[in-house]
């Protein structure tokens, strides 16, 4: 049994098998994983907003999809993963309150998920599974021994993607 | 006038925000007391400035289930606000209001959820009307939205709202009750230009 390593909000970490990377209670944020099935090196970024270029105050790279995903790639490669073997999974991007209109609260989850897809495409990393949207929070775990992404939600059965 | 961010607040702003927190929470507590027809005491609210990414664990462990009530506000001030309660506090208030025991498994029925929404509506509404009276600004709340879910998931909403402007968030904690004391949490999320309006209306130069 590996160590469980916690990734906070606006945070990213990498780990090797048999460790587990977890983030608790993803809401509208995205928990994006990268995993190399041969070296069994994995990474998880928990970002809050899609795009750092929309803000002046953008020093925290793990807070944004565009900078956070690129930094995660850099770190999993530095840890020994191979870019051509990397695969990605995403979870989160919920809309916690079904507000009417087009406010940030209503659509930031969807925009966050969209950003993941665009950036992964650009980086040529295949997105092989996702569990996004809807209106509930998710606790996620990336099991570095096999790349399973385990998703837990209040009152729902555990899902593995 | 520069752009206001919570990353550069000084002691005076904090005092003003604390005072708004105080008056708002006082008003809200009075409203609950009236609604439940009981005498309620309250302690001085705590106003805490923190890193927005820490909000998820500010009230309780990130994966503990809590109740969040969310309202949008428009007119002179635009933005949103949240009122948060832990499950035991939410159950207690619903039981007081409805005069019956909540389902023992801890989940809420549709009727209890709508009672909870109403409690949140009254609390948030009286908070906003205190702010409105204090500043002479018109503040119109939307209908309340409710979510019963993991703390970090609910708090990701204000974390993201604050995160759009800077790294800091403001959390107001109140404690009220009769024989049992309950913790309630307010989070005010004015749009950036509304901060300036609130402060200017109180005679504070930015």
Cis omega (within 30 of 0) on the bond before B127? no
Q: Say which range, A67-81, A134-148, B8-22, B105-119, has the weakest mean pLDDT.
A: B8-22
Q: H or E element: which one contains A108?
A: helix A104-123
Helices and strands in chain A, H and E counts: 2, 10
Active site residues of A: 29
- pLDDT, tens digit (0-9, with 9 covering 90-100), for B96-128: 877 766 665 667 778 888 888 888 888 888 888
B174 touches chain A (CB under 8 A): no
Interchain pair B154, A96: CB under 8 A: yes
Q: What ipTM was estimated for this complex?
A: 0.90
Interchain pair B142, A99: CB under 8 A: yes
| Residue A10 CB contacts under 8 Å (≥ 6 apart), including other chains | A46, A47, A48, A60, A62, A63, B52, B53, B163
For residue B36, give both structure tokens: 């439940």
Calculate how close chain B gets to A12, using CA atoms only, in Å.
13
Overall domain count for chain A:
1
> Residue B206 domain-assigned?
no
Please provide the DSSP assignment of B134-154 as one string: HHT--EEE---EEEEEEHHHH
- Give the range of the structural domain holding residue B175, as residue numbers without chain letter: 6-201
For residue A124, give both structure tokens: 């040529």
- pLDDT, tens digit (0-9, with 9 covering 90-100), for A72-124: 999 999 999 999 999 999 999 999 998 866 566 778 999 999 999 999 999 99
- Of B175, B183, B167, B190, whose CA–CA distance to B55 is shortest? B167
Task: Identify all chain B residues contacting A99, using CB atoms and an 8 Å cutoff.
Answer: 70, 72, 142, 145
- Give the range of the structural domain holding residue A53, as residue numbers without chain letter: 4-160
Give the closest of A29, A60, A103 to B72, CB-based: A103
Longest dimension (CA), chain A: 47
> Residue B1 domain-assigned?
no
Q: Using CA atoms, how far apart are residues B41 and A15, in angstroms rounded to an integer?
A: 50
Beta strands A11-16 and A41-47: pairing type? antiparallel
Longest dimension (CA), chain B: 54
Q: What is the CATH number of the domain that holds B81?
A: 3.40.1550.10
> Residue B169 domain-assigned?
yes
Q: What is the CATH number of the domain that holds A72?
A: 3.30.1330.200
> Residue B77 domain-assigned?
yes
For the whole model, what pTM was predicted? 0.88
> Residue B197 domain-assigned?
yes
Are the beta carbons of A99 and B142 closer than 8 angstroms?
A: yes
């Amino acid at each position: 049994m590996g160590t469980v390593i916690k990734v906070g909000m606006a945070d990213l970490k990498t780990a090797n098998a048999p460790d587990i990377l977890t983030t608790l209670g993803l809401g509208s944020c995205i928990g994006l994983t990268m995993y190399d099935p041969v070296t069994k090196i994995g990474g998880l970024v928990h970002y809050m907003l899609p795009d750092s270029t929309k803000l002046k105050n953008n020093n925290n790279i793990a807070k944004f999809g565009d900078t956070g995903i690129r930094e995660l790639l850099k770190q999993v490669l530095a840890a020994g993963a191979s870019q051509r073997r990397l695969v990605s999974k995403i979870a989160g991007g919920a809309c916690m309150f079904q507000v009417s209109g087009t406010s940030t609260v209503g659509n930031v989850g969807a925009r966050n998920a969209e950003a993941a897809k665009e950036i992964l495409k650009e980086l040529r990393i295949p997105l092989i599974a996702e569990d996004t949207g809807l209106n509930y929070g998710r606790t996620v775990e990336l099991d570095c021994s096999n790349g399973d992404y385990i998703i837990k939600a209040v009152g729902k059965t555990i899902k593995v993607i | 006038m520069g752009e206001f961010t919570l990353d550069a607040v000084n002691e005076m702003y904090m005092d003003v925000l604390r005072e708004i927190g105080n008056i708002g929470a006082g008003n809200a507590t009075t409203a609950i007391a009236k609604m439940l027809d009981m005498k309620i005491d309250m302690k001085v609210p705590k106003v805490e400035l923190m890193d927005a990414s820490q909000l998820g664990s500010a009230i309780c462990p990130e994966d503990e289930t809590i109740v969040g009530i969310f309202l949008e506000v428009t007119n002179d001030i635009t933005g949103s606000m949240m009122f948060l309660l832990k499950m035991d506090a939410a159950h207690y208030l619903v039981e007081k209001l409805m005069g019956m025991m909540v389902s023992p498994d801890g989940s809420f029925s549709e009727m209890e959820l709508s009672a909870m929404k109403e409690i949140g509506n009254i609390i948030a509404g009286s908070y906003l009307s205190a702010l409105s009276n204090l500043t002479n600004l018109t503040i119109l709340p939307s209908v309340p939205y409710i979510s019963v879910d993991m703390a970090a998931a609910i708090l990701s909403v204000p974390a993201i709202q604050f995160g759009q402007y800077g790294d800091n968030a403001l959390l107001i904690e109140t404690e009220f009750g009769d024989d049992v004391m309950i913790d309630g949490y307010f989070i005010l999320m004015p749009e950036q230009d509304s901060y300036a309006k609130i402060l200017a209306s109180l005679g504070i130069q930015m």
